[in-house]
Amino acid sequence: MKVLVTGGAGFIGSHLVDTLMKEEHEVRVLDDLSAGSLENIKRWLDHERFEFIKGDMRDLSVVKKAIGGVDAVFHLAANPEVRIGAQSPELLYETNVAITYNLLEAIKDSAVEYLVFTSSSTVYGDAKVIPTPEDAWLEPISVYGGAKLAAEALISGYAHTFGFRALVLRLANIIGERSNHGVIYDFINKLRMNPKELEILGDGTQKKSYLHVSDTVEGILHIFEHFRRGAKSFDVYNLGNDDWITVKEIAEIVSEEMKLKPLFKFTGGVDGGRGWKGDVKLMLLSIEKAKSTGWKPRMNSYEAVRRTVEELLG
């Protein structure tokens, strides 16, 4: 296939690009490099099957140019920071909803057959059922989660109206090499600055599911192939792990791997121990639907956290 990966220079996107190139697809990346880095994809820059376009998806003409001649679009471009929603909701709208609208406007008049969108577990908010299945009630408690859900809804509407097929993947917390934000990245940087004390947002009992990026990419491509063989215009899958881990346990693993014994200083957080306003305190996705396709993660949450700490420490 000839594929476009939006946000392909970013954390998850660059790992996806690596696999697509190894599978001998023609790959085009569209990225404005606001969150991504050319360093992540430098090994492919001169390859005959690879093309990089630096561009802002808020410009429709840029998006229309980028989708020319492609069969499938993997849409990973987004602002990855959940916390920014409280300070800058308009930025989350522009870099999640508006760019998705532009992409859909470009796709509807094109030959693109498939759109794969990486959404988020945050669309569920404080889930009423845990593990949370795909048909659970959707009530985001952050602007980030709301923006992801808005993008999902637009994609569903466009796919049904304009005749292309769309797959939505709701991701748990994705971690691994090249990540440049999130709790593990933050803990490592804090301990490098002050090895004796570690500030932990919230009360430390926040408990979530973590998936290593290698398992994530494998899951994205496996479920996409399963979806292609089916007949649905639109479908949704959770991608996560069967277990979960607390923030305090993550802090202990990071400290152990760095051979430190810092004093943990909990901020207490907001709204019953959350790290910040809009932080989902408990998240465990049901991945039974994904596993029914033949995929399952190779690492559990604990193993993924430890592997990520090793990778980020180099």
Closest CA to 224 of 214, 237, 210, 205: 237
Instruction: Give yes or no for a contact between 207 and 246, defined as CB atoms under 8 angstroms apart.
Output: yes
What are the distances in angstroms from CA 173 to CA 27, 80, 119, 281?
Answer: 26, 11, 11, 13
The order of strands in the sheet holding 114-120 is 50-54, 26-31, 2-6, 72-75, 114-120, 165-171, 234-239
Dist CA 148 CA 237 (whole Å): 14
| Active site positions, annotated | 144
Residue 185, helix vs strand vs coil: helix
Contact yes or no for 28/7 (Cβ under 8 A): no
Q: What is the spatial distance between Cα 241 and Cα 290, in angstroms, rounded to a whole number?
A: 10
Could you identify the residue written with the tokens 């980028």? Answer: 66
Instruction: Identify the CA nearest to 177 among candidates 5, 299, 10.
Output: 10
The residues that bridge with 274 in the sheet, in sequence order, are 270
Question: Are the C-beta atoms of 313 and 260 separated by less than 8 Å?
Answer: no
Phi, psi of 111 (to 5 degrees): -100, 10
